[in-house]
């Protein structure tokens, strides 16, 4: 039986539970207990604060963990990074007050930087030969400069809205992060096999996200033009309709390109375009 450590509550919890559910692992995680037994796959879920997940996995208390890469990098423990999960995207960046006379990384020499990520920050400063004072605070790092606790901050940024609200400007992105699946190094063969199955499910879910399944009717004479517009898994599916002048075309299109491609397809004569959700892509 595999034990997976996940965030008990917080920003990653909901998407983690949704990913597990899509992979056929459902547990009543709403309960307050530390451990939830899942249905559908031989796993237990260990509900932890995200700070504790890297260590729990490094020690083998949990075989696997789902946690932000930022936490893994900060804790600096020996784990295997198995799979990037495609959610919880953010970066850790240095930011300075808007009015600062910032002129490059040397600006940080002799400055006080507030952060909840002292390990990553000191590693970065050392690599760049910068000598700054690190003030470790948990909680609202972004207010530290305004209250005089620091000259700058090193913190999580996603949209950048929080920085703007606090009169700060991002000057250097240090690491990119997203939720990752991590594993205890050297899992035994049986657990490794379960992990491989789980990864197979996760990959097919992650791959299908952001993709749409599109069906349309197309005049036969437009086929060559339509094929230039359409991608597909290998290539689009082309089926005959009862009416010999028309075809039915099926294709998988990334959501980001959906409307642009549909407009082009309509321009070459496509009609009755259906856009469907894709649940899984199994390769």
Interacting residues toward Mg ion by CB under 5 A: 50-51
| 156 makes contact with ligand ATP (CB under 6 A) | yes
If the CB atoms of residues 4 and 205 are measured against Mg ion, the closer one turns out to be: 4
Q: Which of 152, 191, 150 is nearest to 172 (CA)?
A: 152
| 10 makes contact with ligand ATP (CB under 6 A) | yes
Residue 177 binding: pick among ligand ATP, Mg ion, none (C-beta 5-8 Å cut-off by kind): ligand ATP
Q: Please state, in angstroms and as integers, the Cα–Cα distance from residue 235 to each residue in 144, 175, 252, following that order.
A: 54, 37, 9
The CB-of-274 to ligand ATP minimum distance in angstroms stands at: 34
The CB-of-280 to ligand ATP minimum distance in angstroms stands at: 25
If the CB atoms of residues 87 and 202 are measured against ligand ATP, the closer one turns out to be: 87
Query: How far apart are the C-alpha atoms of 3 and 13, rounded to whole Å?
Result: 16
If the CB atoms of residues 116 and 184 are measured against Mg ion, the closer one turns out to be: 116
Residue 158 binding: pick among ligand ATP, Mg ion, none (C-beta 5-8 Å cut-off by kind): ligand ATP
Q: Which of 1, 24, 28, 49 binds ligand ATP (CB under 6 A)?
A: 49
The CB-of-229 to Mg ion minimum distance in angstroms stands at: 46
Query: How far apart are the C-alpha atoms of 15 and 85, rounded to whole Å?
Result: 10
Q: Which of the ranges 15-23, 68-76, 220-228, 264-272 carries the binding residues for ligand ATP, by CB under 6 A?
A: 68-76
101 touches 221 (CB < 8 A): no
| 158 makes contact with ligand ATP (CB under 6 A) | yes
Please give the residue ranges that form the binding site for ligand ATP (CB under 6 A). Answer: 7, 10-12, 49-51, 68, 70-71, 88, 90, 156, 158, 177
């Amino acid at each position: 039986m595999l034990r997976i450590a996940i965030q008990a509550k917080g920003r990653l919890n909901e998407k983690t539970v949704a990913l597990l559910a899509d992979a056929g692992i459902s547990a009543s995680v709403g309960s307050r207990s530390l451990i939830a037994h899942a249905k559908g796959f031989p796993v237990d879920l260990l509900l932890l604060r995200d700070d504790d997940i890297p260590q729990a996995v490094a020690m083998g208390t949990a075989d696997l963990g789902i946690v932000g890469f930022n936490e893994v990098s900060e804790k600096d423990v020996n784990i295997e990074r198995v799979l990037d999960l495609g959610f919880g995207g953010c970066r850790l960046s240095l930011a300075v007050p808007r009015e600062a006379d910032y002129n490059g990384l040397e600006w940080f020499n002799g400055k006080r930087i507030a952060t909840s990520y002292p390990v990553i920050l000191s590693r970065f400063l050392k690599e760049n030969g910068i000598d700054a004072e690190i003030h470790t605070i948990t909680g609202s790092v972004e207010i530290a400069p305004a209250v005089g606790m620091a000259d700058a901050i090193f913190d999580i940024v996603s949209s950048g809205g929080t920085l703007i609200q606090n009169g700060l400007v991002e000057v250097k992105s240090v690491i990119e992060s997203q939720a990752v699946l991590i594993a205890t190094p050297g899992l035994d063969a049986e657990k490794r096999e379960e992990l491989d199955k789980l990864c197979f499910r996760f990959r097919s879910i992650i791959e299908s996200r952001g993709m749409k399944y599109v069906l349309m009717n197309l005049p036969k004479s437009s086929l060559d033009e339509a094929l230039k517009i359409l991608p597909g898994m290998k290539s689009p599916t082309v089926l005959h309709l009862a009416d010999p002048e028309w075809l039915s075309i099926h294709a998988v299109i990334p959501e980001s390109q959906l409307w642009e491609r549909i407009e082009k397809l309509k321009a070459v004569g496509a009609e009755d375009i259906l856009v469907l959700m894709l649940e899984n892509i199994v390769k």
